[in-house]
Amino acid sequence: MNSPEMRSSIARSIRKRGSTDLSFLDMGSYELYEMHFSLTIVGRDESRWDAYAFEHREPDDEFGQTIDELAEDPDIMMEDPVIGSVEEESCDANHPIWSPRNYYIRVTEMRSKQVLKEWTHLIRKLERTIKIRHHPHALFCQSCVNPQPAETESSKLALEWSSQTLDLLQRLRIPLKRTIHHWNRFSASDGDISYLLDLCREELRLENIRENFEALIDLEQDLAALEDYCSGKQHSVLQTVHLLHAMHETSKEKHRSAELTVLLISPVALASAFFSIPSPVFSFERNSTTFVVAVFVIFLILALYFPLTRVLVGFKQWSNWKRGVLRWVWERKAGRWMLIRVARRLGRSIRVPEELLDEKQAPALPFAA
């Protein structure tokens, strides 16, 4: 049995089992799925043999019509499901390949081409995305001279992004290296490829297979270079985080020392200056008691002034940081789409910096400038 309901259920189980969310790369709604294909050919001789293929398909693909369903439609070419198809290239099952070795070469050529196509698309997409975002912390680290907690937190977010990207690249190299390892064993001088070398008519297909796997080897090297690139950027971001943290702690220590100095010296200095005025501003007796009271009052005023100043400055920095985050998200297509969708769903306006809004687009967007 291979009903549409069963195929849909299998597709859902595959989607849950082997998917990797790539949304953190700012590539849009991309998900990565593992695929696997294996082929076994058994038989007594070249006229009596069977091929068994097992494939872990893409979840978005239909699990395919059965051979019987395809046979009912005379306008549809019966594509060989084992050989598959790549870029409109396929094999007609109505014209079968009778030789098991020729059939194996044909399947290997087509499937290796499919694997190469998928890996090429993925790695090139990752290269473009990572090179664009190789400084995701640059927007937030503009105040390194006077670092604030917002910049430190932003750098920590950048470090998390770098770690996620590096982990993804390391996990991607494992199956690619495994595929190349199996090919090296197969194509070795004492490997199983020796059973196919006497097929003169298949020399071109064997050469195509070699070229496909050589291209995979180049892609694995590109992936390794990309991993080294991200590792270097992660190290740079980590150093930035440590530097900002150290500078922030140093800045806080300087502020504490300055505040302590002001609290200890300024009350006495201000009270002394006030009491040294020839004509007093306030009509009270100037003696040691009133001097001590004046010092104490000035001390209390300064003790309240410093915390209040920190609160106001912190609020301003938090507002600027939120504005910077909004700018960074808005300048990315996926982030802009996300903000618009959230605003529409919440039924409310989100304030966007005026310089980021296109006057022609502003009336159509659910944002308030």
Higher pLDDT, 102 or 326: 102
How many domains does the chain divide into? Answer: 2
- Among 11, 40, 64, identify where a domain stops: 64
Query: 193 in a domain, yes or no?
Result: no
Query: 38 in a domain, yes or no?
Result: yes
The answer, yes or no, to whether residue 144 has pLDDT greater than 50, is: no
| Tens digit of each residue's pLDDT (9 = 90 or more) over 1-49 | 444 454 455 455 555 556 777 777 776 667 788 888 888 899 888 889 9
Query: 132 in a domain, yes or no?
Result: no
| Tens digit of each residue's pLDDT (9 = 90 or more) over 200-245 | 778 888 999 999 999 999 999 999 999 998 888 878 777 777 787 7
- Among 45, 64, 83, identify where a domain stops: 64
Q: Give mean pLDDT, residues 345-366.
A: 46
Residue 63: its pLDDT value, please? 46
| pLDDT-based confidence at residue 185 (cuts at 50, 70, 90) | very high
Query: 239 in a domain, yes or no?
Result: no
| Domain extent for 6 | 1-64
Query: 177 in a domain, yes or no?
Result: no
Q: Which residues contact 79 (CB under 8 A, 6 or more apart)?
A: 70, 85, 90, 91, 92, 93
| Cα(237)–Cα(167) distance, integer angstroms | 16
Higher pLDDT, 369 or 231: 231
| Cα(294)–Cα(213) distance, integer angstroms | 86
The answer, yes or no, to whether residue 184 has pLDDT greater than 90, is: yes
Query: 278 in a domain, yes or no?
Result: yes
Query: 311 in a domain, yes or no?
Result: yes
The answer, yes or no, to whether residue 71 has pLDDT greater than 80, is: no
- Among 10, 37, 64, identify where a domain stops: 64
Query: 344 in a domain, yes or no?
Result: yes
Residue 59: its pLDDT value, please? 54
Q: What's this model's pTM, rounded to 2 decimal places?
A: 0.61
